[in-house]
Structure 1
Amino acid sequence: MKKFNTEPTAGTLTEQLVAQLLHKPITTADRQRSALHVIDWLACVAGGATAEVAKAFASQLTFINNSAATASPQATATALWQGKTDWQSALQYNAALGNVLEMDDVHRSSILHAGPVVIPAALAMAEHCQASLDQFLDAVILGYEVTIRIGQAIGRSHYRYYHNTSSCAAFGAALAAGFLLKLTPQQLVWALGNTGSRTGGLWQMRHEDVMTKQFHNAEASKSGVQAALLAKAGLTGPAAILEGPQGLFAATSNDATPEKVLATSAHWLMHDCTFKPWPACRHAHPAMDVVIQAFGQNTDVDLNENIESKGLKYKDLSVTVQQINIGCYQDALTFCDRPEPQTVLQAKFSIQHAVACLLVFGEPKLWHYQAEARADKRVAAMRRKITLFLDADIEANYPTHYGASVRIRLTSEPHTISYQHQDTLGDPERPLSQQQIMEKADYLFKHNGLTLAQRQQLLSFNWFSQNDLSALTQLLLPSSEKTTKSVMHQATQRGAHDRD
């Protein structure tokens, strides 16, 4: 067990962190960035609501809504596009769905997704406390910050067994909720301490075809909020939960760097997050991107387009590509080296499948991970042509940079093409434009079945012309023409074969 310095200082890590963050100014530009993350998360939830896992969480939501106990003024929280309910039920549903499509934002060096855990916690408590839009956006910023700092500090050894999003973003949910509840600095420390005392989330789920990841996110978000509410009621918690002799770092990591919790930055770390352009695990994106770049730099083939609409020249790729060797960092191999995926989930965690679909279909779409695409003979043949290996140069730069290298052999000129990149599309060094983020959101909203008018209202929402949170949440309710049940039914029936 690694020991950390516990000599008396100006305070424990959580005490110093709370003091530091509460005095850091938040600008209009920071809130604008926060709003982009909220829109991206809302779109991911909308798209995720069509997935099979959503049925389980929706069934709990329906059961609770139909009970006499909640047919009351307690129904103040919004379960997205389902209706009003109590905050616990809304939070569980909303927090479960943000990561279903593997299109949620990500922070590289902390190797986690803050949004699916922090934003639903902030939304539930903002509605509960009748907070303003600005307060909601500020809570999201603070939640991301503590999540990312603890994720950076906890070390890569933690990620070997623990789902960082679950274990670290729970702290973000607690701070976001505590800020909205107007907790004192001492109460915030208690909330963080109690959150950390039960946090976790094991990766065993990645070895089985299960839906546990969504349960992780929902529980992490709920536990953070619950810890904040209990702290407000006087429940004390351990201040040295991070660096203590039996704290989080000692118990779950052998390479933690506690000083990173207090490392200052000129900007809020939310600005360092990546917006994901495509479905699939982020560890698959560097390989996808490097193949796109290799063809784009060396041929006239644009894999960002719909190949099936471009004629024989593009369709010939399934024949002309002989072999593809992709160099990756170790975590990409650990999570995404899967040459024969059998399920939707496995396909999203398969570099071979993601790249094969690029070469057969072009622009990545949600349906590429469904049975139809997995069984496509051209895709299956292409998967078998792809081999992965550990690239020492790429590994040396990870997790600060998510890169990949590729060497492709073709039957025609040029017979060999190669490419290597250090940063992937969507990363801060190669960011998506605001228009691209909005186009992604529109695609996911449409996948859910939102009308053109509904999509336009959300995408053009003016976050700064008013400060009333209800102006946003009223756009997140089911349309008056549809019951909650019919919304879920129609979305599920459309399923994932939507090729829009």
Structure 2
Amino acid sequence: MSLTRNLTRLIREKPVTERDLEWASLFVLDTLACALGALPTEPARMLRTVAPPTQADTARKAFYLGGLSHILEMDDLHRDSVTHPGSVVIPAAWAVAHDLDLGGEAFLKAVLAGYEACCRIGMSVGKKHYRVWHNTSTCGPFGAAFAAAELIGLDDTKTVWALGNAGTQSSGLWEFLAEGAMSKHLHTARAAESGLLASLLAKEGFTGAENILEGEKGFYAGLCPDPIPEAVTSGPGRPWQLINTSIKPWPCCRHTHPAIDGAIALHHEIAGEAIARVQVGTYRAALDVCDRPSPEDPYSAKFSLQHTVAIALADGRVDQASFNADARQRMVGERGKVKVELAPGIEAAYPRSWGAEIVVETASGRRLSATRHDAKGDPDNPVTSAELSRKARAQLVEGGCSEGRADDLIRAILGLPDNRPVRSLGLVEIAGDARAPVRAARSA
């Protein structure tokens, strides 16, 4: 049997517990807060103009929410697959559940299934895929398709067709980073929409390639120099991949987070002393994406190890203001002191462990160091549900919700395991409200 057929069987045979549904609701909260928190940004205005949710069909609703979810760089991250599953799977599942007026239980089960498909295929693409292709964008359509397939009731064969047509739409290149372009938001928007469309077409009998992954002219042959096909179906009895997904505490590329974590700890030891030099050791993928010594805009700064480490050492925190023009200018000299290199031990552990080693030498000659194998928010170093709720509340208020409305929405999302109707969340009305003032272009 094909990999997609075996994957379909594996996912549908996995048991779902009440605790699994509770976990899923936490990730839904995180993703939706990321999306709604981005509403006042210029990219959100553009997405809303092209795909206004109050007028859009189901697929365009997924497109809009998928794009919103990735703007702030605060959405979740699955380490082993190097994907942001929430920003693709949850928008697709929400759009279907909303338009079909489904309850929270079915929605959350579809989210679990979608994460599983996205992450398992993401774990199979190999390390070299990520050097050119954005895994979230290439593997995300499979997750969106599977989530939608669960909600619209596709049988195994039609689900395999949906996965075939999701895979043939896989795309998403890293070239946007060279210019600080906005394409990354399009990656998640299109992945959510493409996967959903694949399942809607399959429902009508529209066939897709069963061997889309392993075929002679399939996904691996075209996009993956070093695939690991067995990762798609290995360990079927392991917990849901959603539970192994990380929550981001800082609004920048997850590859910078282990170094930020260590730098914040060293900030307190340095106690204001001048820094002479900083050495950061990390893994190859982090260098490929985040070796950016002179970022010229907020988005590039979010993908700069030099900037994020410098400002974490200087301020002892990283937030949205850490990437604005004033912060970038303030860190010009400090960024020049930060040198990044490959650390063989850290590289060997990647992608199971995303780590960093930092050595700081002060002007007085003191040497301080910190090593992180698991950054804050990883499954081995998790945020608490209270910390996640605080993060969500801050994002919702930043996005234009009143404090009372934010608290109500948090309670409603966390109540989804009790089968609360998805439509009762009122996301179309909130996300479609264009009255909030738009922040300066690319301020996120």
Unaligned runs of 5+ in 1: 1-10, 63-78, 302-313
Cα shift at 1:334: 1.2
Cα shift at 1:496: 4.8
1:4 maps to none
The Cα offsets for residues 127-155 of structure 1, whole Å up to 9 and x where unpaired, read as 22222110011111100000000000111
Cα shift at 1:459: 2.1
1:441 equivalent in alignment to 2:388: no
- Structure 1 distance, partners of 2:127, 2:164, is 22
Code of the residue aligned with 2:399 in structure 1: it is N
1:326 equivalent in alignment to 2:280: yes
1:72 maps to none
* Contact 2:21/2:109 (8 A) holds in 1: yes
Code of the residue aligned with 2:391 in structure 1: it is K
The Cα offsets for residues 307-340 of structure 1, whole Å up to 9 and x where unpaired, read as xxxxxxx5x34xx222111111111111111111
> Among residues 127, 140, 143, which one is paired with 2:111 in the alignment?
140
2:137 maps to 166
1:394 equivalent in alignment to 2:365: no
User: What TM-score, normalized by structure 1, do the two folds share?
Assistant: 0.84
* Contact 1:458/1:475 (8 A) holds in 2: no
- Structure 2 distance, partners of 1:465, 1:108, is 30
The Cα offsets for residues 65-88 of structure 1, whole Å up to 9 and x where unpaired, read as xxxxxxxxxxxxxx3xxx464323
1:257 maps to 228
Code of the residue aligned with 2:404 in structure 1: it is A
1:360 maps to 314
User: What TM-score, normalized by structure 2, do the two folds share?
Assistant: 0.95
Code of the residue aligned with 1:181 in structure 2: it is I
SS at match of 1:238: coil
Code of the residue aligned with 2:435 in structure 1: it is S
Seen in structure 2, the aligned counterparts of structure 1 residues 495 and 261 have a Cα distance that, compared at 3 Å, is: closer
Task: Kindly indicate whether structure 1 or structure 2 has the higher relative contact order, using CA contacts under 8 Å at least 6 residues apart.
Answer: 2
The Cα offsets for residues 373-406 of structure 1, whole Å up to 9 and x where unpaired, read as 1122xx2221111111111111111111010111
- Structure 1 distance, partners of 2:428, 2:407, is 13
1:337 equivalent in alignment to 2:291: yes
1:492 equivalent in alignment to 2:443: no
1:214 maps to 185
Question: How many residues end up aligned between the 2 structures?
Answer: 441
- Structure 1 distance, partners of 2:31, 2:170, is 23
> Among residues 30, 37, 48, which one is paired with 1:40 in the alignment?
30
Seen in structure 2, the aligned counterparts of structure 1 residues 495 and 12 have a Cα distance that, compared at 3 Å, is: closer
- Structure 1 distance, partners of 2:55, 2:409, is 19
Code of the residue aligned with 1:328 in structure 2: it is T
* Contact 2:40/2:400 (8 A) holds in 1: no
- Structure 2 distance, partners of 1:485, 1:16, is 44
- Structure 2 distance, partners of 1:24, 1:191, is 20
Seen in structure 2, the aligned counterparts of structure 1 residues 205 and 240 have a Cα distance that, compared at 3 Å, is: same
- Structure 1 distance, partners of 2:417, 2:9, is 28
1:183 maps to 154
Matches within 5 A, 1:242-321: 242-263=213-234, 264-295=236-267, 299=269, 316-317=272-273, 320-321=274-275
> Among residues 367, 374, 380, which one is paired with 1:423 in the alignment?
374
Seen in structure 2, the aligned counterparts of structure 1 residues 476 and 236 have a Cα distance that, compared at 3 Å, is: closer
Unaligned runs of 5+ in 2: none
Quick check: which has more Rg, 1 or 2?
A: 1
SS at match of 1:418: strand
Cα shift at 1:281: 0.4
1:3 maps to none
Seen in structure 2, the aligned counterparts of structure 1 residues 361 and 476 have a Cα distance that, compared at 3 Å, is: farther
1:372 equivalent in alignment to 2:326: yes
* Contact 1:448/1:491 (8 A) holds in 2: no
- Structure 1 distance, partners of 2:6, 2:179, is 40
2:95 maps to 124
Seen in structure 2, the aligned counterparts of structure 1 residues 496 and 201 have a Cα distance that, compared at 3 Å, is: closer
Cα shift at 1:89: 3.0
Code of the residue aligned with 2:359 in structure 1: it is R
2:169 maps to 198
- Structure 2 distance, partners of 1:221, 1:163, is 14
- Structure 2 distance, partners of 1:37, 1:361, is 29
- Structure 2 distance, partners of 1:148, 1:415, is 43
2:71 maps to 100
Percent identical pairs in the alignment equals 36
- Structure 2 distance, partners of 1:85, 1:203, is 29
Tell me which moved more, 287-296 or 348-357: 287-296
- Structure 2 distance, partners of 1:399, 1:173, is 23
SS at match of 1:145: helix
The Cα offsets for residues 281-327 of structure 1, whole Å up to 9 and x where unpaired, read as 0111111112223445xx3x6xxxxxxxxxxxx5x34xx22211111
Code of the residue aligned with 1:335 in structure 2: it is V
- Structure 2 distance, partners of 1:347, 1:286, is 16
- Structure 1 distance, partners of 2:222, 2:438, is 43
2:195 maps to 224
SS at match of 2:390: helix
RMSD: 2.0
> Among residues 30, 35, 41, which one is paired with 1:51 in the alignment?
41
Seen in structure 2, the aligned counterparts of structure 1 residues 43 and 172 have a Cα distance that, compared at 3 Å, is: same
- Structure 2 distance, partners of 1:202, 1:258, is 22
* Contact 1:190/1:237 (8 A) holds in 2: yes
SS at match of 1:235: coil
- Structure 1 distance, partners of 2:358, 2:25, is 36
Seen in structure 2, the aligned counterparts of structure 1 residues 466 and 231 have a Cα distance that, compared at 3 Å, is: closer
- Structure 2 distance, partners of 1:152, 1:475, is 32
Tell me which moved more, 203-212 or 151-160: 203-212
* Contact 2:14/2:237 (8 A) holds in 1: no
Seen in structure 2, the aligned counterparts of structure 1 residues 422 and 55 have a Cα distance that, compared at 3 Å, is: same
2:2 maps to 12
* Contact 2:81/2:119 (8 A) holds in 1: yes
The Cα offsets for residues 338-387 of structure 1, whole Å up to 9 and x where unpaired, read as 111101111101111112222333321101111121122xx222111111
The Cα offsets for residues 13-65 of structure 1, whole Å up to 9 and x where unpaired, read as 11111112112111111111111111100111122222221121111135xxx
- Structure 2 distance, partners of 1:46, 1:122, is 17
